[in-house]
Structure 1
């Protein structure tokens, strides 16, 4: 899934890469402000308490992150911010990974809503 933003890729990356901002735009992941416990980002999510580990800050717009679900399952979420002729394009790869078609559709809807909220931050 992708969405084009009419601001620079650097602005989008700076905002989206800050875990303290997750609850402002990533409602599918963070339903409350984050906590940091022993260096790990912990959030209350619609799935329960989850732990989130982002890749290191980088100059390539990579926002990949692993989400450890309450049952211990770890889901890797590829996410990128690219320079786009109109500003920035945010791409989030949604994977089915054993989900039913209806679960996948719900996950896609949640990601689309998160990207829409992220765009509204600018």
Structure 2
């Protein structure tokens, strides 16, 4: 069985390495990933954050430096949501691609709402990159 899926992408004016350094650093999540990042902190070597779902753990499964920003989110009930997020070269810039799955029990409206939230997160990531890094040429 497979879930319905949508790939949400955003072109970025920065190369894969630069995007990966910023987006793949858990300390930067509060600046761009609204659904995961309220008060991120390290506890016993794990990244913990207060999310709309409660306290969750976020772990990048990488290798981040290659643009593989896949990350697992361990929910308060112990279940793990695996999120596929890649940054690929697009000429001198890059393309950030998040794969959003419509998991069992998720309504169509919630799926569309999640997709909109991911688009906004990627827009915030683009703004953060513009703020912190010079443009790729």
Pairs within 5 Å for 1:43-122? 43-85=49-91, 87-98=93-104, 99-121=106-128, 122=130
1:37-93 Cα offsets, whole Å, 9 max, x none, are: 111100011221110111144442101100011122210000111110251100000
Question: Number of matched residues?
Answer: 121
Q: TM-score, normalised by structure 2?
A: 0.83
Greater strand fraction, Structure 1 or Structure 2: 2
Which runs of 5 or more residues in structure 2 are unaligned? 1-7, 131-137
2:17 maps to what in 1?
A: 10
Q: TM-score, normalised by structure 1?
A: 0.93
Which runs of 5 or more residues in structure 1 are unaligned? none
Please identify the structure whose Cα radius of gyration is greater: 2
Superposed CA RMSD in Å reads 1.3
In structure 2, C-alpha distance between the alignment counterparts of 1:60 and 1:17, rounded to whole Å: 10
